[in-house]
Chains A and B, each alone.
Chain A
Amino acid sequence: MNLEQFAALSQVLTGYGQEAILPKLDTQHQAAEYLATLYTPGLVPVATLQLLTDTWNTISAMPQPTYEMQVKEQIMGNTELAPVAKNIIYMWFLGIWYDLTVPPGTSPNKDFVVSAQAYQNSLVWDTMGAHPMGYSEGVFGYWNTPPVIPPLHPPIQ
């Protein structure tokens, strides 16, 4: 899977648009970092990554309005691909890679924060109108008034 394919799939999985996932002026290279993490030897079987790529290529050849439904069915609904897709969502929203070799919540595990920058860019905070704890770009007193919640893209039909 190349960067453009990964970014396109990530948009469907996260509900965030191109400007958040792979902006034209890409100073953070966040998508590239997550793609590299996905392909880190030992994290996901090569065959699974190939199946994910093939499946996405099939979906992306269809009309764009069907992407969301197709990803739900063919990727989130596929027992081999769903854990990987969910981890892509976790990376984007939480900055975390969860260990796929043990059941969720198992201890010990090899869960990890992808990078300090990944934490700072994690999207769950942006979604709710907040900021990562410990990484605020607000000014003094901003908390005194409600935030602007970033608008949602209309769900793709």
Chain B
Amino acid sequence: MSNTAKQYDVIIVGGGWAGSAMAYRLGEAGKKVLILEGGIPLQSNNREDFMETFFLAMAKTPEAPYVQNYNSPRPSVLDIKQITHPPAPSVDCAHVAESIDTDGYFIQKGPMPFGSTYERLAGGTSWHWLGTCLRLVPNDFKMYTEYGVGVDWPITYDDLSDYYDQAELEIGVSADVEEQTVHGITFSEDYVYPMKRIPPSVLDQILTTELKDVVIDGNVLTVTGTPAGRNGESNIMKDGTIYNNGRRLCQGNTNCTPICPIQAKYDATITLSKALETGNVDIMYQTVASNIQIDATTKEVTGIDYIQYETRTGPATGKGTVTGTKYVIAAHAIEAAKLLLMSNKQISTGIANSSGQVGKNLMDHPVKLSWGSMPKPVYPFRGPLSTSGIETTRDGSFRSERAAYRIEIGNEGWNWPTGAPYTQVQNYVGKMGLMGTALRQQIITDFTKQFRLGFLVEQMPSEENYIIPSPTCSDNLGLPRPEIHYNLDEYTRAGFKAAAEATGIIFEALDATEDNSTPLGTGGFFQYDGENYYSEGAGHVMGTHRMGNDPATSVTDADLKCWDHDNLYLVGCGSFPTTATANPTLTMMALAFKSADALLKSLA
């Protein structure tokens, strides 16, 4: 089947966050858009089905609500294991489903495993994002100039400021402007977020008081409300209207990841639906892009080849090619790089890759978890997963020596590091033999005092951290699986050490007792300066098609247009030259809107 009947201005690969944002902007402006989405269709009952799957899942992981699709597979946190040397023998890749179930979708080559995952369905990984909508700080855009590490972005904070406004409006962000002016972040005159800050949890309030005089590396540990893409109380906007996105107020289900049961938290299906409602955007589901065609003379993209399937385990049922004037790859940092590298096989380096940077510089925010017990109850497992954080630690002269971090305050007790409450209850009953009132008393005493901090540590770009299409392992459609090479360098490891030192200072100030057990996800074990550390994935996959000012060292320009191909744009977190410390989604969407503007201009 070939969709040649209709002429499209733009073909977009991927109906996730960035693809939906692009499609909406382009569709609004009257452009004819076709989205190729590899996953299952967007339907009204998706959320109910996903909730049922979640309730019945033994391991309530980020992936728990979403069934594996071997024709458009995704990685799972349950597959993140320490990599042994030599590597343990793996299941024969010829048996695709068994291999993916046993060893995971990724082919992890180490030396450390890559700890982050994503979803491949309409709406993308926004189905299980946390909802954090922090802006980057101005120095994040100029790490090389300011600190002599990494690279500079080809844009500044001011270039992105208006697009941050647009992204915050589209998402519907709840935050307080005054609180967010950290490390030089500025806002346009009279700017208001669409909604007021989400109320702080009991834990947030105690940390705000107890840490207000604590200073680390010259920064006071000020606790601030985290800008959230979840519904709070409406603000009156600049134009006098009361903001209303028609969705419900957050009910505090404490389940932002893996799924908000009531869609009080924004996800990209909202923007995707709006894009489709413009009447200018079409979408083909269960349609996996398999190749990008390039004209040998003009170097322009001439079409996208795709493969279709009907069931998640069944065979391919069709294939074809779609054509348009412009093309956008919005397929997630790892999948986009994979598609570029496996396309146009007569050029061995893949396409858009004259710089050699496609698939390189794979980065995340490796997370150091610190958890323990407060001297008094703080009542976790209530409210959104996180409502506040410490942002003052995100910048400082120390960044010339070691990675910065932000501190996320968790409202879900020890759930992330230890699997609470399940593991502890098994211990109380199974080992201690508790029952009845004594069991209830133990639960009250222990669980109400649990808290955890997550230090999101920045990572610098490196050619040694990369993804390539596996030469030996494929998915059910015969498309290569991602082979990943990954490590944490000295800079990031020094950031972990600083985070561990900060943990000591913070816990002492709180009179809290740290729990030093090994966290559940032990895949990210490493040693540094004689100490053991455990790194968790943040789900923030960045850097694989970075933008820049120089075609020799970057894949796209600041409008996310490929240096090598005049009609090809690459959007998503793969564009990030460095990670900074803020959760990347808001910046990704701001960049997508910026790129949409440039694309529209080029079509005019």
Residues of chain A touching chain B, judged by Cβ–Cβ distance below 8 Å, are 12-16, 68, 71-72, 76, 82, 85-86, 89-90, 93-94, 96, 98, 104, 111-113, 115-116, 119-120, 124-125, 127-131, 133-147, 149, 152-156
Contact = CB atoms under 8 A, between A and B. Distances in A.
Given A85-B435, A113-B55, A130-B381, A135 B253 contact: yes
B350 interface: no
B382 A93 contact: no
Interface string B222-266: 000000000011000000000000000111111100010100000
Contacts of A111: 58
Contact of A125 (B57, B381, B387): B381
Interface residues of B, number: 53
Given A124-B421, A128-B448, A119 B55 contact: yes
Contacts of A131: 253-254, 381-382
Interface of B: 51-52, 54-58, 60, 199-202, 205, 232-233, 249-255, 259, 261, 377, 379-384, 387, 411-412, 415, 421-422, 425-426, 429-430, 433, 435-441, 443-444, 447-448
Nearest to A138: B252
Given A93-B425, A130-B380, 9 more contacts: A76-B435, A90-B429, A124-B447, A131-B382, A134-B55, A135-B55, A143-B252, A146-B377, A156-B437
A129 B255 contact: no
A155 B437 contact: yes
Contacts of A127: 440, 443-444, 447
B591 to A, nearest CB: 31
Contacts of B259: 134
Nearest to B385: A133
5 contacts: A14-B436, A89-B439, A131-B382, A139-B249, A144-B199
A152 B441 contact: yes
A85 to B, nearest CB: 7
B440 A15 contact: yes
Nearest to B56: A113
Q: Which are the 4 A-B pairs with shortest beta-carbon distances?
A: A143-B383, A116-B55, A130-B381, A134-B255
Nearest to B415: A133
B252 A104 contact: no
Interface centre among A82, A119, A143 (most CB of B within 10 A): A143
Contact of A136 (B254, B426, B435, B443): B254
Contacts of A15: 435-440
A156 B259 CA distance: 41
